[in-house]
Amino acid sequence: MAGIYIHIPFCRQKCFYCDFYKTLDTSLTGNFFSILKVEAVQRKNYLFNEPIDTIYFGGGTPSVLNKYELLQIMAFLHKEFSVLPDAEITFEANPDDLNYSYLKNLYYAGINRLSIGIQSFQNEHLKIMNRRHNVNQAIVSVENAVKAGFENISVDLIYGLPNLTARQWQSNLNQVFNLPVQHLSAYHLTYHRGTTFYDRLKKGTLKELVEKESIKQFKLLIEIASDLGFEQYEISNFAKNKMYSKHNMSYWQGNKYLGLGPSAHSFNGVSRQWNVANLEGYLNAIENNSTYFEEEILTENEKYNEYILTRIRTKWGVSINFIEKEFGTEKVTHFIKNIEKYEKSEFVIRQNRIFTLSPDGLFISDEIMANLMII
Ligand code: SF4
């Protein structure tokens, strides 16, 4: 099984925290869709003809697509790849784009999972982040999605924002879990270089939340999600009734995926490729038959590191049997030697030959991962 990720690089407005590749210039939209198809045809062998069980439209803002563009892309993907009938097809969207008729179009085009970028249920924070929508639009977008027939809805929230209080975060969580959603992705704010937030932080016009508050908010997230029946199956991801994101799980399980569009990443077990993060550069390179991605052939150590980094974050954890089978006994020795102290101090739980992070270990996951890797 393999996945396809499609990066739609257009946004109507730039959010101040966001470092994903995007452009506000939509004049190249038509050209982009034609070239995207050329790229897909050129690179389809990268997946060794494996059937496609997940497709993910991310960005940027996929909800800038109109229904004709979407129908065309979907028909094209079904023609070029063997997309399984029950494939999970996720579409990222901004709440203010999700009116009932647009959602109906998505549904009829074959989208069966929505990922809605709500980010906050506080208008003051939506403004600080320069989001386009308000709280009311966020709530209505989920209601519309249900009316349009969607039964698999995920919402994104951000915590650790400047001035976000524990009380406000608790209220955000209560709001989201009161909505008919099956999945939550909740991320702590990161100040990425090149974003407005980063510049403001450096100038001192924005104040980072103190670490104690961030930890409090992460604890609240875990507690409230668990009380309301949402299972934490990865550090930042929570699902009801096992409605995990199949697409993200395929990343964590080391499955193959092909990323199309500027800045998209691909992986097929042998190599990792990443497309140029520039729309014009991407279009010109494909039109002129020149290279538009960089490639790295993974060494055994890098494959081992990938496995550790992705699996330790999940509830399925790291398997000694897998390390032994895939990477040999030397790597098992390295892993055991470096995980022992975390097991003794109960940051890691061992069940037979599987290691997972304990609730306390979740808070120091970066340190644990860094120690397990082979540099
Ligand atoms: S967060 Fe989404 S909508 Fe906002 S700028 Fe980034 S890609 Fe665009």
Whether the per-residue pLDDT at 184 is higher than 90: the answer is: yes
> Which regions of the chain carry the CATH code 1.10.10.920?
299-375
Whether the per-residue pLDDT at 354 is higher than 90: the answer is: yes
Least Cα distance to 155 among 130, 183, 125, 127 occurs for: 183
Whether the per-residue pLDDT at 375 is higher than 90: the answer is: no
**Strand order through the sheet with 318-319:** 318-319, 354-357, 348-351
Identify the residue whose C-alpha is closest to ligand 1 atom 6.
18
3-state secondary structure 106-163: HHHHCCCEEEEEEECCCHHHHHHCCCCCCHHHHHHHHHHHHHCCCCCEEEEEEECCCC
Q: Is the CB of 59 under 6 A from ligand 1?
A: yes
Q: 299-375 belongs to which CATH class?
A: mainly alpha
> Do strands 153-159 and 2-8 pair parallel, antiparallel, or not at all (unpaired)?
unpaired
Contacts of 259 (CB under 8 A, 6+ apart): 4, 5, 6, 7, 265, 266, 273, 274, 275
Q: Is the CB of 9 under 6 A from ligand 1?
A: no
Identify the residue whose C-alpha is closest to ligand 1 atom 7.
60
- Cis before 361 (ω within 30): no
Question: How confident is the model over 295-313, as pLDDT tens digits?
Answer: 999 999 999 999 999 999 9
Q: Is the CB of 192 under 6 A from ligand 1?
A: no
pTM > 0.85: yes or no: yes
Question: How confident is the model over 85-132, as pLDDT tens digits?
Answer: 999 999 999 999 999 999 999 999 999 999 999 999 999 999 999 999
Q: Is the CB of 263 under 6 A from ligand 1?
A: no
> Which regions of the chain carry the CATH code 3.20.20.70?
2-250
Phi first, then psi: give them for residue 186, nearest 5 degrees: -125, 120
The residue to mutate among 13, 23, 24, 61, having the most atoms of ligand 1 within 8 angstroms of its beta carbon, is: 61
- pLDDT mean over 184-199: 97
Coil, strand, or helix at residue 85?
A: strand
Identify the residue whose C-alpha is closest to ligand 1 atom 2.
60
pLDDT of the residue at 287: 95
Q: 2-250 belongs to which CATH class?
A: alpha beta
Q: Is the CB of 22 under 6 A from ligand 1?
A: yes
Within 10 angstroms of residue 203's Cβ, the number of other Cβ atoms is 8
Q: Is the CB of 14 under 6 A from ligand 1?
A: yes
pLDDT of the residue at 145: 98
Ligand 1 center–CA 95 separation, angstroms: 12
pLDDT of the residue at 269: 87
CB 160 within 8 A of CB 189: yes
Q: How far apart are CA 268 and CA 177, in angstroms?
A: 36
Q: Percentage helix, strand, coil, to 5, in the chain?
A: 45, 25, 30
Q: How far apart are CA 88 and CA 53, in angstroms?
A: 6
The residue to mutate among 5, 15, 94, having the most atoms of ligand 1 within 8 angstroms of its beta carbon, is: 15
pLDDT of the residue at 323: 97
Ligand 1 center–CA 15 separation, angstroms: 5
Q: Is the CB of 94 under 6 A from ligand 1?
A: yes
Confidence of residue 67 (pLDDT cuts 50, 70, 90): very high
Q: Which helix (H) or strand (E) holds 168?
A: helix 166-178
Q: Is the CB of 93 under 6 A from ligand 1?
A: no
pLDDT of the residue at 317: 97
CB 44 within 8 A of CB 258: yes
The first and second tokens of residue 95, run together, are: 């709440």
Confidence of residue 171 (pLDDT cuts 50, 70, 90): very high
Question: How confident is the model over 137-146, as pLDDT tens digits?
Answer: 999 999 999 9
Give percent of the chain with pLDDT exceeding 90: 98
Confidence of residue 290 (pLDDT cuts 50, 70, 90): very high
Ligand 1 center–CA 28 separation, angstroms: 18
Q: Is the CB of 158 under 6 A from ligand 1?
A: no
Q: How far apart are CA 62 and CA 103, in angstroms?
A: 13
Contacts of 140 (CB under 8 A, 6+ apart): 95, 98
Q: Is the CB of 11 under 6 A from ligand 1?
A: yes
Ligand 1 center–CA 72 separation, angstroms: 24
Whether the per-residue pLDDT at 25 is higher than 90: the answer is: yes
